[in-house]
Chain A
Amino acid sequence: MIRVKNLHKKFEDLMVLNGIDEHITQGEVVVVIGPSGSGKSTFLRCLNLLETVTEGEIYVDDELITAPKVNVNQVRQKMGMVFQQFNLFPHLSIMDNITLAPVLLKKMTKEEARKRGQELLERVNLGEKANAYPAQLSGGQKQRVAIARALAMDPEIMLFDEPTSALDPEMVGEVLDVMKDLARSGMTMVIVTHEMGFAREVASRVLFIDQGVVMESGTPEEIFNNPKNERMKNFLSKVLV
């Protein structure tokens, strides 16, 4: 579904991604972990071209999306993205946040989009918030709306960039629950997170990225119970207290 070949990303003189090769198949839930500054968020952002790739190739459904003439907007419609800071549109109601893109991009009529929007809101347990505005919601609620908004475009893949890092601890659970539910429904997901418990429970595969390369990759059991890489061991000893 997603194939990444020799991916490099350079910011000015700083090499952030230093040759990543990865293959993510349909239905996989890939959790990306690693120390801060390791390039894991950059990797995620390259997948939907929010960052321009310096070198290397990314294929989505066998389409080379790093080709210069590719229709970026079309590619992004296949991939939903959830951000650390939610990035809801504060001037629009919750329902309008969700229906804006599907209606504007002519995927649905306004009525269809609202119906679908209500279904999605109920799926993330926010059915009664359709007419509220983002400023009236808690962090956890905002992030669940953000997930619903991304799902409204019927993406094939969902990308999560530290979705719970900006949340108060008591709200982390409600967002992870929605994500678990999504994983169970068979959605292909790539998740950058520091929630090791979540990674252990939900991931079909864990990638450990450090210094811009994938240092280790495997099932949660392999990674957490039997890490081979020294840096990986070091990292785990710090986060798994």
Chain B
Amino acid sequence: MAEWAADFYKCFIREDRYKLLLSGVGVTIKVSLLAVIFGILIGMLIAMCNLSNKKVPRFIGGVYTDVIRGTPSVTQLMIIYFVIFASVQIDKWIIAAIAFGVNSGAYVSEIIRAGILSIDKGQTEAGRSLGLSAFQTMSRIVVPQAVKNIFPALCNEFIVLIKETAIVGYVGLMDIQKAGDFIKSATYIAFMPLIGTAVIYYVLIKILTLALRRVELRLRRADAR
């Protein structure tokens, strides 16, 4: 027990190492939040492409989803950081967020596409038969109904995304994972910092899950009228 306490002190208290982890939490949250926004925007765009009845957008959407799903996210992150943004002066964390957004977008697009396809064709036909344009029908009739179906899967995707960001250490960002790793190297203790890292991720995701579930319940209640 005394040994544990000593390890704990060494890993988290001495030299203010907890501050490293705290700023790591900040980096993880920052990158994840921006990536979620990029992911949704890109996801909507790609979903539109995939749902289009024209050949060119469908081809672009297909290739995008195919390439992103067929390559590891670490590879994508490194390509975007070291190749595409190699000579551009932007904050590291923003580049990382773009990379994760690009990755997440492919998955979000599939979620959105499936959600839109889950709405009965009759809804579209009813809208169009009244003289609404394809866009009006989509935005006023199909999408509002699809959102409720999409929401749970989208939440899941965000949780996956937060955990995915644990690889930002590869491009030199000090997130939670990297901070834990740093402490491990500095102290030669593996157990404490790694378990600490796991606990922090777990708590973060638990809070998010609970919050999102509340939103989902509210959406459902609105549906039951």
Interface, chain A (partner B; CB < 8 A): 48, 50, 73-74, 76-77, 79-81, 83, 85, 87-91, 100-101, 104-105, 133, 135-136, 146, 149-150, 153
Contact = CB atoms under 8 A, between A and B. Distances in A.
B131 interface: yes
B122 A85 contact: yes
Contacts of A149: 130
Interface of B: 120, 122-123, 125-133, 136, 140-141, 144-145, 225
Task: Tell me the interface secondary structure of chain A in the complex.
Answer: mixed
Contacts of B126: 81, 83, 87-89, 146
Nearest to A84: B122
B11 to A, nearest CB: 52
B130 to A, nearest CB: 4
Nearest to A81: B129
A89 B123 contact: yes
Given A89-B141, A101-B130, 4 more contacts: A77-B131, A90-B145, A105-B130, A105-B131
Contact of B132 (A80, A83, A87, A104): A104
Nearest to B124: A87
Contact of A83 (B125, B131, B133): B125
B125 A133 contact: no
Contacts of B140: 100, 104
B68 to A, nearest CB: 32
Nearest to A76: B131
A73 B125 contact: no
A73 B145 contact: no
Contact of A74 (B130, B131, B141): B131
Contacts of A83: 122, 125-126, 129
